[in-house]
Amino acid sequence: MAEVTETLGLAREDVRDLLHTASLAPSVHNTQPWRFRLAGDRIELHPDLDRRLPATDPDDRELRLACGAALFNLRLALRAHGIRPLVTLLPGSEAPGALATVRRGGALPLDEDTRQLVAAVPVRRSNRKPFRDVPVPVEHRQALVRAAERERSWLHVVDHREERARLQSLVARAHRVQAADAGVRAELAAFTGARTDDGVPPASAGVRPAPQDEWALRDFQAADRRPGKDYESDPLIVVLCSYYDGPLAEVQTGQALQRVLLTATTLGLSASFLSQAIEVRAVRDELRRSLGGVVPQAVLRIGFGTPVAPTPRRAVERLLLAEQPVSA
Ligand SMILES: Cc1cc2nc3c(=O)[nH]c(=O)nc-3n(C[C@H](O)[C@H](O)[C@H](O)COP(=O)(O)O)c2cc1C
């Protein structure tokens, strides 16, 4: 196993903290599909292709979104050290296979907004439980829209009644398609329940979905819910979009995803995903048409939640790729 080494002029313990912070990002089924190579003057972020979900995420689109979210955390962790991160997305021959490299820029003092985002990283969680029946204030929505824009992405707020109803039925349709797919079911089962350092444990699973639920949430086999306890009536529903398709857009939008989620956390908001509508290609195409051409990358349900348990993470040492061999 590779070892954490001094990188970007930082001591080993600081580098370990950076990578741990990166690994607190969200990922589908908590697969944590990222690896890092410490290369002295740069940290390379690579996809961990052993952690693909070929049935759920056949094009590795969500895998790259998750890596983008980890990259955003890494940027924040450097900002916490007063360092300006210099990021190259899809760096090509300089770091073959990498989704991004991060170098040390000049000094950049930590501003208050960024400090709050840094503090939100360890407390952000996906929250599948019912939210409180309190509407999300307009200023909060605007802050989330701006967070996406800061990362060159678009956050579409699904406001109108007909549009919400249409999206609800798209999510429900995609949910049924996935429920009938043995491959998708097997991937969900593999990452559900008590595992050591990945997957979704029962304490994070939320509550057991029921047929009357308006939004079809993924079933991580939570404990049965109390009779009569239903979901909030009107969560904020948003679709995070990129302006173009492909791996670069996905890594970019992953950063936007994490900025949106962390901004939500700083505002006391919780979020969970409704990714079925994006994972099932035919449904995603329909959603894309209804949005007028921007590329839907994530559907989020947002509201004021109650506390949830954290999901586990792999040890930093397990995320390291060996230094590249010097070629002869
Ligand atoms: C791109 C993406 C899509 C996701 N889709 C879903 C989803 O459809 N349903 C769900 O319950 N969780 C979804 N998640 C949340 C993950 O399950 C969650 O991030 C993971 O279990 C780690 O937990 P945490 O977010 O609390 O750190 C998604 C996460 C990402 C990054």
Q: What is the pLDDT of residues 13-23, one digit of tens each?
A: 999 999 999 99
pLDDT at 307: 94
Tokens representing residue 159 in the block: 């406001």
| pLDDT above 60 for 211 | yes
| pLDDT above 60 for 327 | no
If one compares 182 and 230, the residue with the highest pLDDT of the two is 182
Confidence label for 324 from pLDDT (cuts 50, 70 and 90): low
Tokens representing residue 36 in the block: 């890092």
| Cα 8 to averaged position of ligand 1 atoms, centre (Å) | 31
pLDDT at 62: 98
pTM to 2 decimal places: 0.98
Within 6 Å (CB) of ligand 1, which residues are found?
Answer: 26-30, 62, 65-66, 69, 125-126, 128, 200, 204, 217-218, 272-275, 298, 311
| Whole-angstrom distance, CA of residue 98 vs CA of residue 218 | 31
Atom of ligand 1 nearest to the CA of 191: 21
Atom of ligand 1 nearest to the CA of 261: 25
Please report how many Cα atoms fall inside a 13 Å half-sphere around the Cα of residue 269, on the Cβ side: 25
Average pLDDT over residues 136-156: 98
| Cα 328 to averaged position of ligand 1 atoms, centre (Å) | 43
Residues 12-122, CATH architecture = 3-Layer(aba) Sandwich (3.40)
Confidence label for 191 from pLDDT (cuts 50, 70 and 90): very high
| pLDDT above 80 for 110 | yes
Tell me the one-letter amino acid at 85: P
User: Which residue's CA lies nearest to atom 11 of ligand 1?
Assistant: 218
| Whole-angstrom distance, CA of residue 307 vs CA of residue 32 | 22
pLDDT at 1: 75
pLDDT at 328: 42
Atom of ligand 1 nearest to the CA of 25: 27
Q: For the domain 138-303, what is the CATH code?
A: 3.40.109.10
Average pLDDT over residues 108-119: 98
| Whole-angstrom distance, CA of residue 201 vs CA of residue 242 | 31
The distance from CA 224 to its chain's CA centroid, rounded to whole angstroms, is 27
| pLDDT above 60 for 88 | yes
pLDDT at 237: 98
pLDDT at 194: 80
Average pLDDT over residues 49-58: 98
| Cα 167 to averaged position of ligand 1 atoms, centre (Å) | 19
pLDDT at 230: 81
Q: 2 in helix, strand or coil?
A: coil
DSSP state of 126: B
Tokens representing residue 317 in the block: 């040492």
User: Which residue's CA lies nearest to atom 20 of ligand 1?
Assistant: 30
Q: Which of 129, 275, 283 for mutating ligand 1's site (highest number of atoms within 8 Å of CB)? A: 275
| Cα 127 to averaged position of ligand 1 atoms, centre (Å) | 9
| Cβ contact 283:255 at 8 Å | no
In this structure, what are the phi and psi dihedrals at residue 209, rounded to the nearest 5 degrees? -60, 150
User: Which residue's CA lies nearest to atom 6 of ligand 1?
Assistant: 273
Tell me the one-letter amino acid at 20: H
pLDDT at 227: 75
| Cα 131 to averaged position of ligand 1 atoms, centre (Å) | 17
Average pLDDT over residues 183-190: 98
The distance from CA 104 to its chain's CA centroid, rounded to whole angstroms, is 24
User: Which residue's CA lies nearest to atom 28 of ligand 1?
Assistant: 28
pLDDT at 223: 82
* 196: number of Cβ within 10 Å: 7
| pLDDT above 80 for 298 | yes
Is the backbone of residue 144 left (phi > 0), alpha (psi -120 to 50) or beta?
A: alpha
Q: pLDDT tens digits, residue range 1-17?
A: 789 999 999 999 999 99
Q: Which of 126, 237, 239 for mutating ligand 1's site (highest number of atoms within 8 Å of CB)? A: 126
| pLDDT above 70 for 325 | no
pLDDT at 181: 98
* Fold match between domain 12-122 and domain 138-303: yes
| pLDDT above 50 for 195 | yes
| Cα 232 to averaged position of ligand 1 atoms, centre (Å) | 20
Q: What average pLDDT is seen over the chain?
A: 95
Write the CB contacts of 33 (distance below 8 Å, at least 6 apart in sequence). Answer: 27, 47, 48, 49, 51, 52, 63, 66, 67
Q: Which of 167, 255, 273 for mutating ligand 1's site (highest number of atoms within 8 Å of CB)? A: 273
| Cα 192 to averaged position of ligand 1 atoms, centre (Å) | 12
Domain-by-domain residue ranges, the chain?
12-122, 138-303
Average pLDDT over residues 175-201: 96
Q: Let me know if 96 is exposed, middle or buried by CB neighbors in 10 A (0-12, 13-18, 19+).
A: exposed
